[in-house]
Chains A and B, each alone.
Chain A
Amino acid sequence: MRWINRRPSPGARLALASLPFAAVLIAYTVGSLSRLAANANDKLLPGLAGFADALNRMAVIPDARTGDILLWADTLASLIRLFSGLGIATAIALVLGMLIGMLPSVRALLSPFVAALSMVPPLALLPILFIAMGLGEVSKIALIVIGVTPVMIRDLAFKASELPREQIIKAETLGGNSWQIALRVMLPQVLPRLITCLRLQLGPAWLFLIAAEAISSDSGLGYRIFLVRRYLAMDVIFPYVVWITLIAVATDWALERLRLAVFPWSAAEGKA
């Protein structure tokens, strides 16, 4: 049988899927054990005991100085920034994307501008944001918004303009005005795409969040990683990275569930 026709059974699929994860874990353990054998105080690849100790310090025992449990305080601070940024970006992208995709005059006005804006490297704007908005929460949220909004606007405008012309004409023959067509025909078909688009922007949003936190912050997951870097505290950095990854994967999964639950007709959209 040709390789292109061989399909793994469900059990084999699960085994195959866990293989890369297991490989990484094993490689790490082997490396860690060999380094620890050479030097029991090695900080680069700490062993399980090291992680347990660090997790205990970060996630269970309150910090001696502030009285907060650091992991939770950092997570809360980061998630507030992340979701404020994504929320604002989503709202702007939905309104502008629909307008650009639907109304030829708005498209003429804004489409080239948004295209140009989406090419500005957001991190290059970070100093400007810090200077203009200070070092507080606003500039960090603004960075996320600036980073993901133009891409989302373009994606949604594309989706809106991609709707078959026949559907719009059809809605007109059913007596719809522009507003109703936006509300009843375009919006429901753009919303599933908005969720997919949001999923795809989770990665960039985290990138901008951690970049902003690394440079100036007093809490947050990115802040903590860059703070403990000074002490080569890999026992803290590794769990933080895994934790961030888990949050991102869970958000991605939850958004996909949400889309299928709210828009059951859009099952094919997820393949995008």
Chain B
Amino acid sequence: MSQLKIDRVWKEYGDQIVLEDVSITIESRAFVALVGPSGCGKTTFLRMILGQEKPTRGTILLDGAPLPPEPGPDRGVVYQKYSVFPHLTVLGNVLVGKELSAAPITGRLFGAARRAAVEEARAMIADVGLAGSEDKYPAQLSGGMQQRLALAQALLMRPKVLLLDEPFGALDPGIRKEIHQLMKRLWNETPMTVVMVTHDMREAFTLATRVVAFERPRDRPEEKERYGATITRDIEIWPPRRPGTTPA
């Protein structure tokens, strides 16, 4: 289960109100796309779910429990840039999650534990289509391959919620189409809820089960500071998309 309940959340930076009175319940296993113009607070909203930012008012519940005030392994993330560690190889990048969770002091695994983790990591790398590139560094990979790697890295942690911040925004159309198929398959096979910020309407309607639009209802220059953005559209995709496997 991984239901997100956002209840009357406000986000303010000093006098500037970014988001006002946002309430939405995201069902377990949903794939929600957040769309809207630049600067409408959709990334801020994503960061609040991630724990990178705290709401000024309101609550966010994950499966009924308040979110911890900092990021943790129950919520994975893929950014447009800087999602993978430049100093680790492909294998190292996927392995590092296992190592950090299992070895609090050294941050490394040894012996049989390492072999098991390597095996799992290799399977995940193959699953996102990066088999054969295990020993390359991210700088040697194309943009699309780096994002595949970032997905593998995040998914190995089996997060309840996967947060995507314009993950495919910088990719060529052809590459993007391929990675969309991968994303769909991963969502079908993995018991997780996905929240994705995107600029691309086509992408939103291709992947999501539900498209949520953020907008500032009052956008005159003199009103901009005192009125934040909120959810203005909430569209269920019809016919409904259901994840391929039964929800865990």
| Chain A residues engaging chain B, CB cutoff 8 angstroms | 164-167, 169-177, 179-180, 183-185, 188-189, 263-266
Contact = CB atoms under 8 A, between A and B. Distances in A.
Contact of A175 (B52, B72, B83, B105): B72
A175 B101 contact: yes
A164 B72 CA distance: 18
Contacts of B77: 169-170, 173
Contacts of B105: 179
Given A169-B50, A169-B52, A174 B104 contact: no
Contacts of B97: 174-175
Contact of A180 (B52, B75, B107): B107
A263 B87 contact: yes
Interface residues of B, number: 36
Contacts, number: 81
A183 B107 contact: yes
A162 B68 CA distance: 26
Contacts of B84: 170
B157 interface: yes
Contacts of A264: 137
Contacts of B27: none
A166 B100 contact: no
B70 to A, nearest CB: 7
B205 interface: no
A166 B83 contact: yes
Interface string B196-223: 0000000000000000000000000000
A183 B99 CA distance: 12
B159 interface: yes
Contacts of A179: 104-105, 107
